[in-house]
Structure 1
Amino acid sequence: MEWLSAENVVAVATAGLGIVASAVMVWYERRVPRRKRVGYRVQMDNPIGDGAQSGRANVRLGLFDEAPGMHRATLVLLRIENDGSQGIAHEDYTSRELHGLTVEFTDRAIHGVSVTQPPGTDHLMSHFTPHAGFGYDVGGSTLRIPRVPLNRGEHFKLLVLLSGGDVGCDIRLVGGIRDGEVHPNRSATPDDKPPLFSRAARLITIILTASVVTLASIVIVRDDDPPPLGCEKGTLTVVGSTAFALVAQGLAKEYEKDCEGSDIKVEARGSTAGVGELAAMEGESRARRASVVAFSDGRDKGAGSALRAEPVALSVFTLVAYKGLDLRQGLTLAQVRRVYSGAVRYWDDLDPALPHWRVVLVSRDADSGTRQVFQDRVLAGRWEGVPSTSLGCDLQTDTAAPVRCELGSTADVLKKVAATKGAIGYSELGQARQHRLTVNRVALDGATADVDAIEYDDSPYPYRGVENAYTYADLPAGSLAGSFLTYVRNHGQAAIRQNGHIPCTATEGERLCDE
């Protein structure tokens, strides 16, 4: 089922994950109590006095050398903060004493304390009085801290002068908070603010963000274009023209991509051969006859009355010559007709400026529509006058006439012309362009093979013909052949133009295909 595609399953699963994460977050916020927390950390614990270390050198500060009881003096900076999610009030401290919290300095005696607070929290200082329980016993190791109200994120610091113990001795903040806790803070650097969101909130936010990104990626990547109307499944064979083979192959792949379940094979064996194969299906079933489409360069004169021809594109062809044969100035139609009549054996017989090379005519076989259009449009309806004298245009052939061979495809002609000194042949324009480094295209009567010039400037270039799609009689409804030809009409313009043809469905193409 289409709705059970991998993309849909991933999308639904991701959306479900996002919904579950949202529900968990709502439950967490409603059911899990927000704890009140007082955190503390030791930001400094340094020795002072004789032999204390300052920077990179040991110096004798001498500040406490003579003070009684200041042996092994140290300074401790303690930060106390509200790093929970709620504010802490006076009554939130659970101590039974007047003060709220107690700092215990193991093995050290307190000699003095100073309170500091960040800007904007001057109201905290009013709580650090003996009447609020703030203070310490002389020689004692316990510092009493009053019940200081702390808004979320507020903190204060205590700078304590101590003696008698080693740096790094245990320091603990003792006390209780209603619906909360007092804990050593190791989650952030000393001067960092507490995180804005709880760990659970951050985790859920990450899950939701990942869900949204995944869904957005699916929307962007997936192809939501609906398949073309009339998509049909099954198997279709496209036969005929080798000149139109690249277009047929490209359109077949596009159709198979847009219409899943279709299988289109392109077997280009020549226009006449393709139309003949279709005509020979007279005794086959209607469904079997509807499984073949034949492309032909021009109208096939041998097509029977049972076949139907649909103009698809105006195909442009060109003469091609061996790279070293300088025919870039082109030939007149009269010169071409002389060459193909057999009257010119060597190229310098045609033009003294040309080299003394044997004329080699690389032609197509009798099944070729490209050859038929060449004879009709360039040779004025005449047959090529030179008989085939060699299977592979062998220059060793001993004959008074030019050498001529017949090959089965446009690609074979281009390869043979490129490899044979003095060779000339003909090709569909798009494929000739792909071999521009190995062959020269030959202008006719001063006009070059140019699709834009023919379509928009009404160029008189003669070597062109209408590409027709042949089917056997009227196609049955719902046939893959009919769907494919509809696809060619509606979606094939880009592929047709890309390969050097003019679509018959284009504005100017309709006029040109009717000529």
Structure 2
Amino acid sequence: MDWLTAENLIALATALLGVLVSTGAVWYERRVPHQRRIGYRVQLDTTIGNASASGAVTGRPGAAVRRGFFNATPALRDATLVLLRIENDGAMSIGADHYTDGDDHGLTVEFEHRRVQAVVVTAPDHPRLLSHFTDSWVGPAEGDAAIQLPKVPLNRGAHYKLLVLLTGGPIGDPVSVDGNIAEGHVHVNHSTTPDDKPPVFSRVARTVTVVLTVCVVALAAIIVREQTPPPIGCARGTLTVTGSTAFAPVVRELAKKYEKDCPGSTVNVTAHGSTAGIRELEASGAKPAKGSPAVVALSDGRKPSGYPQLRESMVAVSLYTLVLNDGIPVESLTLDEIRRLYRGEIKDWNELVPSLHQPVRLISRDANSGTREVFQRRVLGRNELANSSLNCESIDDPASTVVRCELDSTEQVLAAVAKLPGAIGYTELRSGSDLKGLHRVAIDGRRPVVEEIGESPYPYREIEYAYTWGQPPADSLTSSFLNYLIRGSGQDVVLTHGHLPCSTPKGLRICGDG
């Protein structure tokens, strides 16, 4: 399911949101108004009072300059005029029988804090509506706070207006219309006042436009992001780097650096040993999938035979060292002494240090370890003894004469050597430099020094190889990361960890010699 990416999910969700909003707007416009509705709104609420006898403006909100009748009538000193529009803004006609209050009136208009003095009903666009305001409708009594309106039939869009003269309160006090409509309701609607400029689009149209615009912008941003190439030399995707635990510290630091330099990439490091990494790569490549899998296996030394599909690249020359518990005051061992120790011929350190009585404990790596394979091939010249201990402290095999245990990683070996008296083990050079409780041991008086590689006969060294399943595509994350590791800025990280990159002039010569 290659399409199931974060970008595609966002695009799909955005498109669905746009469709749902559009569909919802159409449904709202077509479905919701299909009921009987009477809407009302105040189109004018202004003062005709609140002025001094001389006509000077008082400065209060709603103040007015009065002349003539308004100025000569004391009762109108606090008068206001309200223009109220009442209309059928639903999708169905309203007849007189649809008013269900039960009395002779259909609607009631209430003016909070104000008293009605006079009212005029107008219907310039629908003059026949005025015939329903018969002589039997006497209107409000002077001083009432409400007007009861007759049951006026209203076709769709029909309306009439009330111009009401009020006293006793300021402008802006609430005006409400109440009444019961069969299968409908009365509500406040909205429109522009005479001084307002009408909007080009309705509220629903504006909402739909904004939402769809956001959707389009989001989709465009995703498309632009997809079409924007990564930085030169970078690639996007997910890569797994497995294999050597000795080289794992280098790869972990490189992975973080690559992810920072190349946004959109993820490099997972799962080190379980060189041989285990080769097998994992083989299993990934054998799966029925197109192309080379996004897996790189790092190996201390060349891969075992029997993996013809794997392609190798030389990465660096790695140095390894023996490490010894600090309780053993030995700084150098001869090659012969090391071989005798690992053949089980030296069982106690007093054979090398007469004043010290401490059993020898051989802390080794498991069979998947490239570090162990290099140690056996370049130092011992043979395989190690069989495993004789599960806890690295005591012998479990009665036929064995020396403690030898196997651990899964370089970190476990270092921790065990530092903890157990008389313990000796081996590790990649830089990994054995920071832990307390142990020290590095020279071989025949020679110590592992990166600057002396190729000049010193120090035997415990090997080339680090990177393996892929066949030739990965040039634009793949696998190729990009390998180039970053072997020839790119990753060389600085390799050097920092005590390895000599094969791409340097000196490393090129040594790696070429094998």
Taking structure 2 as the reference length, what is the TM-score of the superposition? 0.53
State the partner residue of 1:129: none
Give me the whole-angstrom Cα distance separating, in 2, the residues matched to 1:499 and 1:258: 20
Partner SS, residue 477 of structure 1:
coil
Residues 398, 483 of structure 1: alpha-carbon distance in 2 compared, 3 angstrom cutoff: closer
RMSD: 1.8
| Code of the aligned partner of 1:392 | N
Query: Alignment partner for residue 300 of structure 1, among 303, 307, 316?
Result: 303
| Code of the aligned partner of 1:295 | L
**Does the Cα contact within 8 Å between 2:388 and 2:395 map onto a contact in 1?**
no
Partner SS, residue 263 of structure 2:
coil
Identity of aligned residues (%): 48
State the partner residue of 2:413: 413
**Does the Cα contact within 8 Å between 1:325 and 1:354 map onto a contact in 2?**
no
Residues 228, 359 of structure 1: alpha-carbon distance in 2 compared, 3 angstrom cutoff: farther
Shift of 1:284: 2.2
| Code of the aligned partner of 2:392 | C
**Does the Cα contact within 8 Å between 1:314 and 1:504 map onto a contact in 2?**
yes
Give me the whole-angstrom Cα distance separating, in 2, the residues matched to 1:312 and 1:287: 27
Give me the whole-angstrom Cα distance separating, in 2, the residues matched to 1:426 and 1:297: 13
> Where does 1:344-355 land on structure 2 (aligned, <5 Å)?
344-349=346-351, 351-353=352-354, 355=356
Partner SS, residue 296 of structure 2:
strand
State the partner residue of 1:325: 328
**Does the Cα contact within 8 Å between 1:496 and 1:502 map onto a contact in 2?**
yes
| Code of the aligned partner of 2:438 | V
Give me the whole-angstrom Cα distance separating, in 2, the residues matched to 1:462 and 1:366: 21
Give me the whole-angstrom Cα distance separating, in 1, the residues matched to 2:309 and 2:355: 50
State the partner residue of 1:373: 374
| Code of the aligned partner of 1:367 | N
State the partner residue of 2:236: 233
State the partner residue of 1:221: none
> Where does 1:232-271 land on structure 2 (aligned, <5 Å)?
232-271=235-274
Residues 288, 419 of structure 1: alpha-carbon distance in 2 compared, 3 angstrom cutoff: farther
Partner SS, residue 478 of structure 1:
coil
The yes-or-no answer on 1:498 pairing with 2:496 is yes
Shift of 1:401: 1.0
Give me the whole-angstrom Cα distance separating, in 2, the residues matched to 1:253 and 1:387: 39
Query: Alignment partner for residue 479 of structure 2, among 477, 482, 497?
Result: 482
Partner SS, residue 280 of structure 1:
helix
Partner SS, residue 257 of structure 1:
helix
Give me the whole-angstrom Cα distance separating, in 2, the residues matched to 1:305 and 1:354: 54
Give me the whole-angstrom Cα distance separating, in 2, the residues matched to 1:353 and 1:511: 44
Residues 303, 447 of structure 1: alpha-carbon distance in 2 compared, 3 angstrom cutoff: farther
Give me the whole-angstrom Cα distance separating, in 2, the residues matched to 1:354 and 1:448: 25
Query: What CA deviation, in whole Å up to 9, does each residue of 1:118-153 have, x standing for no partner?
Result: xxxxxxxxxxxxxxxxxxxxxxxxxxxxxxxxxxxx
| Code of the aligned partner of 1:495 | V
**Does the Cα contact within 8 Å between 2:278 and 2:297 map onto a contact in 1?**
yes
State the partner residue of 1:16: none
Shift of 1:247: 0.6
Query: What CA deviation, in whole Å up to 9, does each residue of 1:77-119 have, x standing for no partner?
Result: xxxxxxxxxxxxxxxxxxxxxxxxxxxxxxxxxxxxxxxxxxx
Partner SS, residue 248 of structure 1:
helix
Partner SS, residue 514 of structure 1:
helix
Query: Alignment partner for residue 468 of structure 1, among 465, 468, 473?
Result: 465
Query: What CA deviation, in whole Å up to 9, does each residue of 1:383-417 have, x standing for no partner?
Result: 01x21111220236575511000000000000000
> Where does 1:145-164 land on structure 2 (aligned, <5 Å)?
none
Residues 294, 398 of structure 1: alpha-carbon distance in 2 compared, 3 angstrom cutoff: closer
Taking structure 1 as the reference length, what is the TM-score of the superposition? 0.53
**Does the Cα contact within 8 Å between 1:314 and 1:467 map onto a contact in 2?**
yes
Query: What CA deviation, in whole Å up to 9, does each residue of 1:276-304 have, x standing for no partner?
Result: 11112343255574310000001121451
Give me the whole-angstrom Cα distance separating, in 2, the residues matched to 1:420 and 1:352: 18
Shift of 1:448: 0.4
State the partner residue of 1:114: none
Partner SS, residue 448 of structure 1:
coil
The more displaced of 276-285 and 504-513 is: 276-285
Residues 477, 506 of structure 1: alpha-carbon distance in 2 compared, 3 angstrom cutoff: closer
Give me the whole-angstrom Cα distance separating, in 1, the residues matched to 2:469 and 2:387: 33
The alignment of Structure 1 onto Structure 2 pairs a total of residues equal to 283
Provide structure 1 residue ranges, at least 5 long, that are not aligned to the other structure.
1-225
Residues 484, 240 of structure 1: alpha-carbon distance in 2 compared, 3 angstrom cutoff: same
Shift of 1:503: 0.6
State the partner residue of 1:430: 430
The yes-or-no answer on 1:389 pairing with 2:388 is yes
| Code of the aligned partner of 1:428 | E
Give me the whole-angstrom Cα distance separating, in 1, the residues matched to 2:267 and 2:237: 8
| Code of the aligned partner of 2:333 | L
Give me the whole-angstrom Cα distance separating, in 2, the residues matched to 1:373 and 1:283: 28
> Where does 1:27-38 land on structure 2 (aligned, <5 Å)?
none
